Structure 1
Amino acid sequence: MAVAYYNYIRRKNPNLHRERIFRDIDNPLDCLDDTDIICFPNVIGAIDGTHIRIKSPSLDEHLYVNRKNYHSINVQAVCDSKLRFVNIVAKWPGSTNDSFILENSALKDMFERGAIPEGLLLGDSGYPLRPWLLTPVLNPTTRPEERYNASHIRTRNTLERSYGVLKSRFRCLDTSGGSPFYSPTKACRVTVAVAVLHNMCINNGVPIPADCVDARDRGRIGRPQYIGPINDGVTVRNRLINRRFA
């Protein structure tokens, strides 16, 4: 299926250049226009993890067992409002927490050292609240906080839809239909490869298959709230709530 999509795009665009997807390397992310995001100004994209099933590995098998008790790799990605992936990290075992993957990524380092001087990421409560990564308000008590949460959820769900479309297009990642499981190394490589093809499909106007229109990510696993020492984004979030959602 991946080859078929690539050949289709090549026929439509014979001068096709290699599409870029920002892996875990030092590349800036493009900032979205305000009109692309629901009520959230200066948002770069939504961040979340998804699990890709794999074969039981012979080495460090226990590290790949996730919270739902199956073997997987945990993939972190950021997507934009057009469902394109702008950053992806596919190298961690399924037992790894999302917050740990972010903390040990080049993406986090880019924000910390100012390589991305402006822009916000939106993530769920499994991530720490940072000046550049906004999470929902737990137990909101005011109308502005409720409006912030509602807008946050709608905007962040773009990544869930992006994962859903990716796995519906490329069934090699969605094993619910009986697709073969890969080794951890191959699963990581295949995931990045089809993410590039996913972006190419969007950029070249390849229609979304009918069964992808309402696709949701079946590889998303509920995670506990982040509890840790890093939550220095309270001031930024409160300022946004008071200025934008009050």
Structure 2
Amino acid sequence: MGAIDGTHIRIKSPTVDEHLYVNRKNFHSINIQGVCDARLKFLNIVAKWPGSTHDSFIWNNCASKEIFVNSTIPDGWLLGDSAYPLRPWPLTPVFNPSTPSEGRYNDSHTRTRNTIERAFGVLKSRFRCVDTSGGTLLYTPKKTCKIAIATTVLHNMCINSNVPLPEGCNPVDNGQIRVQYVGRQLNDGARVRERLINGRFSS
């Protein structure tokens, strides 16, 4: 159904709870979660968490997860990297694949999930204010979150209207922070992924 990931928007040091906004790369930021489709159009955006917030925490506390849990969407998956827990809805790569089938699954997963990285890259190329190359947003965290949502809406409008990419656009999000998910993996997600691998990547 889509690819999911987080990206960081650099902000000035907040006056309240400053330490919560320092991310793993040691700068102040807002951690934005996005879900996009194959056209790089954002289907969902969550912009409200400080930079120190883990991607899996944002996922576990967002409305998108509840839609899957409550079976509002009966079929389909989101593809996420290893920062996300393996469940029946966000499918993650196999850690240390041991069979050719698992290797093919991981390759396909990586190529398909790359759309979210490209979507964030295009967004930041179009709107340099949310890219580290544009400097630091000199606004409060609350206003920065509104800017993030506004630029995402404009990005989708550009896609709907076939607005060309900016000249020299390199749609790769270099601002992402990759962390290894080390929490408990539930068997329901492992079973779904195993059935997918055996059914689609075994030969």
Instruction: Give me the whole-angstrom Cα distance separating, in 1, the residues matched to 2:173 and 2:157.
Output: 20
Which residue is 2:57 aligned to?
100
**Does residue 215 of the first structure (1) align with residue 186 of the second (2)?**
no
Q: Kindly state the Cα deviation for residue 230 of structure 1 after the two structures are TM-superposed.
A: 4.0
- Partners of 1:151 and 1:92 in 2: how far apart? 30
Q: Work out the CA distance in 2 between the residues paired with 1:231 and 1:48.
A: 22
Deviations 1:61-83 (A, max 9, x none): 00000011100010001000000
Specify the SS of the correspondent of 1:188.
helix
Q: Deviations over 1:148-175 (max 9, x none)?
A: 0000000000000000000010011013
In structure 2, distance between residues paired with 1:193 and 1:146: 39
- Does residue 59 in structure 1 map to residue 16 in structure 2? yes
Secondary structure at the counterpart of residue 75 of structure 1: strand
Could you tell me which residue of structure 2 aligns to residue 117 of structure 1?
74
2:91 is matched with which residue? 134
Larger Rg: 1
> How do 1:27-176 residues align onto structure 2 when only pairs under 5 Å count?
44-176=1-133
The RMSD of aligned alpha carbons is: 1.2
Other structure's SS at 1:147 match: helix
> Paired residues, what number?
202
Normalising by structure 2, we get a TM-score of: 0.96
**In 2, distance between residues paired with 1:153 and 1:59?**
38
Name the counterpart of 2:152: 195
Aligned residue in 1 for 2:201:
245
Query: Displaced runs of 4+ in structure 1, greater than 6 A?
Result: none
| Identity rate, percent | 64
CA contact (8 A) 2:12 2:136 kept: no
5+ residue gaps, structure 2, are none
Shift of 1:231: 5.2
